[in-house]
Structure 1
């Protein structure tokens, strides 16, 4: 219960369609995977194509995790610190390297912001989609 004039906050789940729509509007997320027996998180640039998350990688821990067939997760959010509201979406699923033909057929290419070679294009296919929105009423 809130006091008169105070803010009432709501934390509600997002349906999968809304979660994927929000995710598709973004370009930067946190990619999680297992490395050396524990969780590891790196920032990646991505695009969403036909419900799949597409990003580029080089020779790195991500490539090693991909080779082991590990499950990946990508988390993205939009937060308003002024109103203390926002949303978060996490997708989890298997990932695979796309062939040159598959990459050429993509309607949009992932465009890494950081320097360095990232010749491999990876497709994460969401099997689990989680999203929540934090809103406020005055």
Structure 2
């Protein structure tokens, strides 16, 4: 049964954003490339205050994101309670000097290129379910 009243958006603190970001294994990286905006789901890890992922050196992600500004988003949505949260990292994507072993890629094939997103900003919001406002 879905709620009849809308919930409320609450801004997350920077620490809450990092906590939520580190709690999920998959996010979406977005960038503006030569053919328009692209958004790709990737598995990732949080390491030393940055988002790290691994890809093939020949992938579109590697060709178009390295040394460019990107967005990285992770979220959780509960369709029953109409609640959830979303975290957005905006920053520059660079090659890792030494590709870490994290995260372990979920897809087949060599994923030898480590990418690192250094946050310029991190922000997030939580949608509280309507029932939480009555408490």
Structure 2 unmatched runs, 5+: none
Structure 1 unmatched runs, 5+: none
* Counterpart residue number, 1:123: 116
Compute the displacement of 1:8 (Å).
4.9
Following the alignment from structure 1 to structure 2, what is the Cα–Cα distance between the partners of residues 113 and 136? 33
Following the alignment from structure 1 to structure 2, what is the Cα–Cα distance between the partners of residues 79 and 131? 13
Q: Any conservation in 1 of the 2:7–2:82 contact (CA below 8 Å)?
A: no
Q: Any conservation in 2 of the 1:35–1:61 contact (CA below 8 Å)?
A: no
Equivalent residue in structure 1 for 2:106, among 109, 113, 116 = 113
TM-score for both structures, normalised by structure 1: 0.84
Runs of 4+ in structure 1 off by over 3 angstroms are 5-8
* RMSD of aligned Cα (Å): 1.8
Q: Any conservation in 1 of the 2:33–2:64 contact (CA below 8 Å)?
A: yes
TM-score for both structures, normalised by structure 2: 0.86
Q: How many residue pairs align between the two structures?
A: 128
- SS state of the match for residue 15, structure 2? helix
